[in-house]
Amino acid sequence: MKDTAIYIHIPFCDHKCIYCDFYSIISYENVSSYLTSLKKEINFYSNQYSRDRNIISIYFGGGTPSFMEPQYILEIIDHVRKSFNVSDKAEITMETNPGTVDKQKLAKFRDTGINRISIGIQSFDEDELKFLTRIHNAETAIRTVNDAAETGFENVSLDLIFNLPGQTKEKWKRNLEQAIKLPIKHLSAYSLILERGTILNKMVLDGKVKMQDEDYDADLYETTIDFLERNGFSQYEVSNFARDGFECIHNNAYWRYQDYLSFGTSAHSFVDGKRWWNYSPLTFYNKSVDLKGHAKIGEEVLSPNEMLDEYVMLALRSKGLDLVELENIFGKNWFDRNQKLLDQLKQENFLIEKEMFLSFTAKGYAICDEILSKLS
């Protein structure tokens, strides 16, 4: 049995935040038809992959999955369990936004089988929340985390965004200090990135918002790593930190180059070296699934060199690159080609090698994309 993760996209949302580039729609008229299509798509791929797959995680992303009624999520989970071999210990995560749940609704979500909650807080500062056009305030954010813990969710994660326009280091530290006071086991900290097509990108182009520079971003990032590691959170990926035993299984499936099947609008899958992706518009998705059983709009089969590049990139962006495993899978050519650059990066304290395991330092993580672009 091959360990495999499952992602399910729920595109429905209350409104579009200015920085968000994920596919979402502010309409609920197709909620029922979307559920029907999801089940059909799950059936299509279970016929191909269910026999030799051990499902280790199910992740509901969006959009805002927590806007849905618990019964809606339960129907999807039950259908996945009927269609695939889902491990008894599978991690089942739902992205949740403050302002969309209360304690009673959280309890019902827990009864569906969800055992991990990822709460999109982004900031505890009222001005920053208004800038990001979030629907909640700091009080609601804090209450949502506490409600989740009191409802019985042991595995609670939250998201924060740093390097907002005008954000001082002191303000960012206050966000981190507030976060670790809460009963959380995992924290994702993302730098604010301009994405094409977002409202924020237009605001910057129009001169209404000015982004802070890359050096300041790197400084805030190194501050984040230092603060969280001093307070009991280990970094296991560029943006993710966890207390011992609470690394996200679903995240690690991506970073450790494991297979994953994804269902829903705009979803991407990766199985046995083949990647494919779905239509984004919901109407196109529903029509395609109705006609063909799937909504695939494109695919690619990776070459050995492409697989090597992705394997290295994902490993270094997470906990690090096992050089023995790399050689066993791909041979010695990559290490021989890059040895001079790797030696230089180690001398300059961007990389550290210990017992044939290569990983970024905090300094290296801050410019990891630049470093990865130089490796061949």
Apex 33 CA angle, 32 and 35, nearest 5: 65
Q: What is the mean pLDDT of residues 70-83?
A: 98
CB 9 within 8 A of CB 266: yes
Q: Strands (DSSP E) along 147-185, which ranges?
A: 155-162
Cα–Cα distance, 92 to 117 (Å, whole number): 8
For 248-270, the DSSP string reads -HHHHHHHTT-EEEEESTT-EEE
Instruction: Compute CA distances 27 → 32, 109, 208, 222, 226, whole Å.
Output: 12, 22, 29, 40, 42
Q: What is the pTM of this model?
A: 0.93
Residue 266: count of CB within 10 angstroms of its CB: 20
Q: What is the mean pLDDT of residues 224-237?
A: 96
- Give the three-state DSSP class for 278: strand
pLDDT of 10: 96
Higher pLDDT, 204 or 36: 36
Model confidence at 210, pLDDT cuts 50, 70, 90, reads confident
Higher pLDDT, 60 or 62: 60
For residue 365, is pLDDT > 90? no
Cα–Cα distance, 149 to 106 (Å, whole number): 10
For residue 208, is pLDDT > 90? no
Q: What is the mean pLDDT of residues 344-366?
A: 90
For residue 244, is pLDDT > 90? yes
Given the structure tokens 């090597």, which residue do they identify? 308
Omega of the bond prior to 63 within 30 degrees of 0, cis? yes
pLDDT tens per residue across span 307-349: 999 999 999 999 899 989 988 988 888 888 999 998 999 999 9
Higher pLDDT, 233 or 23: 233
- From first CA to last CA, the distance across the chain in angstroms is 33
Q: What is the mean pLDDT of residues 214-234?
A: 94
Cα–Cα distance, 163 to 176 (Å, whole number): 13
pLDDT tens per residue across span 102-151: 999 999 999 999 999 999 999 999 999 998 888 889 999 999 999 999 99
pLDDT of 131: 85
Instruction: Compute CA distances 134 → 98, 149, 204, 252, whole Å.
Output: 9, 22, 19, 28
Cα–Cα distance, 359 to 361 (Å, whole number): 7
Cα–Cα distance, 125 to 146 (Å, whole number): 18
Q: Which domains does the chain have, with CATH numbers?
A: 2-255 (3.20.20.70), 319-374 (no CATH)
For residue 48, is pLDDT > 90? yes
Q: What is the mean pLDDT of residues 354-373?
A: 88
- Tell me the two tokens of residue 128: 């920053």
Model confidence at 367, pLDDT cuts 50, 70, 90, reads confident
- Give the three-state DSSP class for 90: strand
- Tell me the two tokens of residue 89: 């210990």
Let me know how long the chain is.
376
pLDDT of 96: 96
Model confidence at 18, pLDDT cuts 50, 70, 90, reads low
Cα–Cα distance, 330 to 304 (Å, whole number): 8
The rounded percent of the chain whose pLDDT value lies above 70 is 98
